[in-house]
Structures are given as structure tokens and as C-alpha cells.
Amino acid sequence: MSKLEFQTEVSQLLQLIIHSLYSHPEIFLRELISNSSDALDKLRHLTLTDDAFKTLAFNPRIDLVLDEEAKTLSIADTGIGMNEEDLVSHLGTIARSGTKKFLSQLSGDQKKDSNLIGQFGVGFYSAFMVADKIEVISRKAGEEAAWKWVSDGKTGFEISPAERAEAGTTVLLHFNEEGSQYANSWRLQEVVKKYSNHIAFPIFLTYDKSEWNAEEKKSEKTRVTEQVNAASALWRRSKSELTDEDYKELYKSISGDPQDPLFWFHTRAEGTLDYTTLFYIPAKAPLDLYQAEYKTGVKLYVKRVFILDDSKDLLPQYLRFVRGIIDSEDLPLNVSREILQQNRVLTSIRTASVKKILSELKGIATKEPEKYLEFVKEYNRPLKEGIHGDYANRETLLELVRFKSTKVDGLTGLAEVKGRMKDGQKSIYYITGGPENLLRTSPLLEIYKKKDIEVLILDDDIDEIVFSQVESFDGTDLKSVNKASTSEDLKDESEPENTEALAPLLARIKLTLGDKVKDVRVSSRLADSPSCIVSDEEEPSLQMQQMLRAMGQKDIPLPKPTLEINPDHEIVKKLLARPEDTVADDAAWLLFDQALLMEGVALSDPASFVQRLNRVLKLTV
């Protein structure tokens, strides 16, 4: 017998599980059944694809055996099984990135932390919520030896040789006080139906059934074995046969999410390709949504046989929050991960699935706008990633994304914005580069306010990258007000331009600012502010450049913005009247620096700014 210690993270996790106030300890059964079902899937796959396993008998089943007196429950499967090495690595360490993430998010507040367990599901180890001792007896398919793993969930585990007639795994739980409520056949049936009803394999429960013996007028106990789940691939049934409850139940059993999904889309395609898809949108974005190592949520089946559930090729990355099932009639059962990437059948299913998901979402946006907002609250950002990466569906994605705006409270869509355009308005406008409050007070918006034109407030840090690539929406140009040329749109032909008279002043300011600016121009976009900063078409905005530098791209050239001056502003008018005034140089710098500050750009030389400000103040106070 060998004694081994748990990896530190496992001990940490177990500590938490044992001491947590977790409110649904019943999920232990879902986790163990799902492990058994995975093990059966794996073995089935091998028997179909690997010559060495083709002759093995495959009698898939999961058996729950309850001993009410002894307060034990065993969960046995005829799946792939584990050998000694597997037992040590799978049940002694944590390989799942999700669980590691979970541990890193713990706050120490028991209540919050136990909610987190609910969202993550912690797999096999969750059984220690209900058991003070667990024995695992397993024999790997194709091998003769069986092994026993035993642990009290405290410091470590012991491994010793064991006996098992067939390949598979038996997990024997010795219930603790909390767990003794599950030493009850009613309770077990209820939990299996709730979470595991649609597991594709039959689940049997063996227990002592009480039956009334009418002759002897007493109740008698008989040992029975009954199937407790429906074990049907529910997604293959027609929509009309299924209730909302069926869909929700299946969602919970495949996703492990205890909440109901927001929506689901069930499609059966027949024709050139035959396949079924059932996609779900979780009510809350998965916690790993913005992690490079996110877990995918779509399972691939071929003719009802589970193939894999961790392929990032089933849906594009921006739809990584979607959960569900793709079941194809046309793929070969031995399709490998590598082949999937260039498989024509899968490419067609994927293309059609994306179109389907997006068009269903579009339908909801129109028919149930309130419900759609719940969706947008969680998933606006991945949709924007889609605009960036999925050119073929860009127009639909543009319709789906929602924006803040100067015209409405809450969020609005581009179609509505287009509908609100004023007579003669040439483009749809947006502003990027900073937090919402900064954008809303930007001098760049003044002319739009004056002309009562709507501007979208794009305050998400990916907005500039995404929308700088989008030229139009539904035939209307989409323009950033941060760009120099955008104000051309707004030029009023009737407004005479006083450029000539301003030329010496512009030249003077340009001389003072030297190579800090690309150009100094008369502005047609300002109303109340004396100056503002704009960027050239091809250049990233100042904030973007600032961000790139903060991210370590030191070699990008210093920004050279264009300074625009408001010819109607008091300060500018006074400077124009007295070009040789002693404060002219200070004024030039102050006009420039204040424009930078309004754009949320940090000044490179704040000391000089303050000195100039004080010199000017001294003259006026």
C-alpha cells in the first residue's frame, strides 16, 4: 500500500469544501454521474475507433447502490476506468484551469465562496461535502489489474491493489452527517432526475423498496434495481415533444450551471447534411469568458455518440459563451481533433450554426427587446469581438451590438440610431478613447450638441480597435468624431470661414508648439471650448497610443496630434487682436495642454503647465 499526499491546491479545495456552507451539496451526485458518463463516452469512442479496443464488450451503464443502514452509496460505471497512475494524477491533483481560477478568486468570505463553488462545480472532490471517507476501485479498460484509492479528504490518500471483475470505476461514499440525507432512495431519484435525466446511458438504482403486503398487513422490504433516468438523447426529439422544463433540465445537466438559460435554439437540418443542433445562452456569462484558457461549452456527437467537448473549432471564439450540442449524421465516428479543423462537413455545420444563432438573437432583439437587453448586458463585448473577427457576419453583428449614446438613456442599436438621423446628416458618429464621463464632456462633441446630432459613446477599451475597421452600417458611413476629417461633414456652407485673418495667429501658435503638433487649424466643431485635439485618419487616437505604450510597446512614435482652434472663442478673439501680446506663448501652450487634458491624455510636463497657468492667473487676479 502506498500513502500519498494531495497537491497543495487539492488540500486547499478540500478544506473549503468540507467547511463551506454550500447550499446545494446534492450536486456531488451530478458530478460523479457526469464523470461516469464521460468515462463511458471515452470507452465507447475507443471501441469504435481503436483496433486494440474493438473486441472489448461495451455494456454501458451506471449503477447506484444504496445501503441505507450502513449509510453508503456506490456509483459504479463500466467505462474506461483508471490505473494506478491515473488515480494518482486524476484524483490527487487539479488539472482543470477552471478550478485553479476558482481557487484564485476565493475571498475568504464563506458565503461568497460557497456561491462560487456552485458556479464552478468542483468535480470529484465535491463528494467530500457529503462523505467523510471515499473509496474508488477502478480497473482500466484493456488492463488486468485493479486499484483501490481511499481518502478521508484531509491530507492525502492511499493506493493499494484491488479486485474488479470488469473494466470501470466504482466510487463508494461513506456519508457524513450532512450526507446522510442522501441515504434515501426518494432523495436520490429526485436528484438524478433533476440533473442527470438526459445522460445518454441508463442509470440504475439498487435499494430496499418498501411495499405493502395486503395479506400480511405489513410493509415489506425487497431489494430492487430500477432505471431512474430517461437516458434519451433529448435533442433528437422534435420540438413539439419537448417542454421548456425538458430543455432547462438538459441545459443544467450538460452545463453544470444551476441557473436557467436565457434562451435556446433547437434546429434539425435535413438535406445535403443531416444534423441537429441545440444551443443555449447562459443567463450569466461564464466566469472564464475573458481568459485565454476558456472552457468551451459545445459537445460534438456523431449519430448520438459523444465525440468531444473541448474543441475550439466547433464555434468561432467570440461565441465561446454558447453551450449545447452538435450532433451530426455525416461525420465519421473516428473523426479526430486535427481532422475537425479542416473537415468540410463540420465547416458547413459551423457556418450554418453561427448564422442560426445570430439570426435567432436578431429575432429576440426585435420581438423581446427587454429580454434582449439581459443578453446584451452579459455578451455585448464578445459580439464586438465578432465584428472584429467575423467579416462574413459583420452586418448582422453590427445590428446586434448595443451602444451608449448622447440621445438615449441606457443602450441603443445602430438601426435605431439610423432611424433618428437628422435631415442632411451624412454619417453616424461615435466617440472613443476613455471612460464614459470623459467622452461625454469632450469638446469634440460640442458641435454635435449644438446641431442636435446623436453621437455614440464607445467607452469599452476594445471599441477603437473594433470600430476603426467598420466603415459603414446599412449603407451609412460610420465615423469617429476623434478624426480630423469628420468635421468636414458638418461644415455649414453659409458660415464664412475666417481662415485668412486667423493665419498669422495659427502660424504663431504652430511656431511656439514646434514639433509637438502636426498642424494647427481653424475648427468647425467647437462651440464652448477654445481648442481641441484630433487625430489623422490612419493614426490610432492619443489614448490608444498611450495604452499601447503602457502595454510595453515603447518604440511607437510619440503622438503628433492636430490642434484645432475655435475662431469664435473669446480667448482666440483676444489673441487675434493682440498678436504680439506677452502672454501669447503661454496661451498657445495652455490651449494645447488643456485640449490634451480634456482627451484624458496625461501631460508630459505638468510642472511647466502649472507655471504657465500661474503666470496667466497673476495677470488677471
Ligand X SMILES: Nc1ncnc2c1ncn2[C@@H]1O[C@H](COP(=O)(O)OP(=O)(O)OP(=O)(O)O)[C@@H](O)[C@H]1O
Buried-state track 341-378, b at ≥16 Cβ within 10 A, e below 16? eebebbebbbeebbebbbebbeebbeeeeeebebbbeb
Judge whether 124 is annotated as a binding position: yes
Task: Check the annotation: does 98 bind a ligand.
Answer: yes
Pull the grid cell for residue 140: 482500466
Rounded CA separation 613/566 (Å):
20
Is 604 marked as a binding-site residue?
Answer: no
Q: For residue 483, give the DSSP letter.
A: B
Q: To the nearest whole angstrom, how small is the minimum distance from the Cβ of residue 48 to ligand X?
A: 18
CB of residue 300 to ligand X, shortest distance in Å: 15
Q: Establish whether 119 is an annotated binding residue.
A: yes
In whole angstroms, how close is the CB of 180 to ligand X at the nearest point? 23
* 337 marked ligand binding residue: yes
Strands lying side by side in the sheet with 323-328 = 263-269, 275-281, 323-328, 298-302, 305-308
For ligand X, the closer of residues 33 and 357 by Cβ is: 33
Minimal distance, residue 52 CB to ligand X, in Å: 18
Is 363 known to sit in a ligand binding site?
no
CB-wise, 293 or 452, nearer to ligand X? 293
Q: Cell match 473494466: residue? A: 167
Return the number of the residue (123 or 433) whose C-beta is nearest ligand X.
123
Residue 204 is labelled as binding a ligand:
no
Kindly state the smallest distance separating residue 90's Cβ from ligand X, in Å.
Answer: 3
156 marked as binding residue? no
Nearest to 30 by CA among 95, 99, 126: 126
Say how far apart CA 529 and CA 525 lie, in whole Å: 10
Comparing CB distances to ligand X, the nearer of 22 and 430 is 22
DSSP symbol at 375: H
Question: Is residue 489 annotated as involved in ligand binding?
Answer: no
Strands (E), 450-589: 455-458, 472-473, 476-480, 519-522, 531-534, 562-565
**Among all residues, whose Cβ is closest to ligand X?**
123
Angle at 479 between CA 474 and CA 480, to 5 degrees: 145
Cell of 366: 426585435
The Cα–Cα gap between 133 and 77 comes to: 19
Taking the complex as a whole, the smallest distance from the CB of residue 231 to ligand X amounts, in Å, to 17
165 or 551: CB nearest ligand X:
165
Segment holding 136, helix H or strand E? strand 131-139
Residue 98 or 567: which CB sits closer to ligand X? 98
35 is in an annotated binding site: yes
Least distance from C-beta 35 to ligand X, angstroms?
3
Shortest Å distance, C-beta 43 to ligand X: 9
Residue with smaller CB distance to ligand X, 91 or 520 = 91
Contact 228, 203 (CB under 8 A): yes
For ligand X, the binding residues (CB under 6 A) are: 31, 35-36, 39, 77, 79-82, 90-91, 96, 121, 123-125, 169
Distance from C-alpha of 29 to C-alpha of 26, rounded to nearest angstrom:
6
Taking Cα atoms as reference points, which of 222, 221, 242 lies closest to residue 233?
242
Q: Which of 252, 257, 260, 261 is nearest to 234 (CA)?
A: 252
Which residues are CB-neighbours of 402 under 8 A, at least 6 positions away? Answer: 373, 376, 380, 411, 412, 413
Q: Shortest approach of ligand X to residue 193 CB, angstroms?
A: 20
Q: Does the annotation flag 120 for ligand binding?
A: yes
The residue among 84 and 385 lying less far from ligand X, judged by its C-beta, is 84
Report the residue number, 99 or 480, with the smaller CB distance to ligand X. 99
Residues in binding site for ATP = 31, 35, 77, 82, 97-98, 119-124, 169, 337
Binding residues: 31, 35, 77, 82, 97-98, 119-124, 169, 337
